[in-house]
A and B are shown apart, each in its own frame.
Chain A
Amino acid sequence: NAGVMQNPRHLVRRRGQEARLRCSPMKGHSHVYWYRQLPEEGLKFMVYLQKENIIDESGMPKERFSAEFPKEGPSILRIQQVVRGDSAAYFCASSPTGYLGETQYFGPGTRLLVL
């Protein structure tokens, strides 16, 4: 059973470009969470999605950021018109249910660098 997969592992973008980060949850997991980790900081919750639904987006910046988890395919975190402050590691995690008590399995992360 493959773990959570994220791609690309590293992404370089220039200011103003778009960044698309992909997350494939573990087999059988229908709940996906996105976190952002700035250098020397902990992970900050961004959004929680279930298949075709956004459950909690309280951590998402109001502009330029969006997320989806379609019925088929990976979850996508999209950042439009990137700025240098978006440079960070973005992690997704998946779980079989929406309960925090169920272990959330993290992917290896996508490291975004905005030039």
Chain B
Amino acid sequence: DAGVIQSPRHEVTEMGQEVTLRCKPISGHNSLFWYRQTMMRGLELLIYFNNNVPIDDSGMPEDRFSAKMPNASFSTLKIQPSEPRDSAVYFCASSLAWRAFFGQGTRLTVV
């Protein structure tokens, strides 16, 4: 299995632009997570899905952030409009029976 696949690996965008991050979970996994990592706040859970249904989005910072999982093999995290404070590494992870596996992350820089 190729593991969790995220794209793009790096994204540089201007403030105010829309940013879409993509994730393909491991086949057969039924939970998907979006995390954000910064030096100040460490690893924070933004949202997670079970069987494609959002279960807990309490970590989504504000309405500018949205996430979707239209099917078991694809999820997106969208930021609109982006702001410099959104700069971070965004990780997607998937799991089956508790154990979580992470993608390589997307490093987002908003200038």
Are A and B co-members of a single complex?
no
Interface residues in chain B, defined as those with a beta carbon under 8 Å from any beta carbon in chain A: none
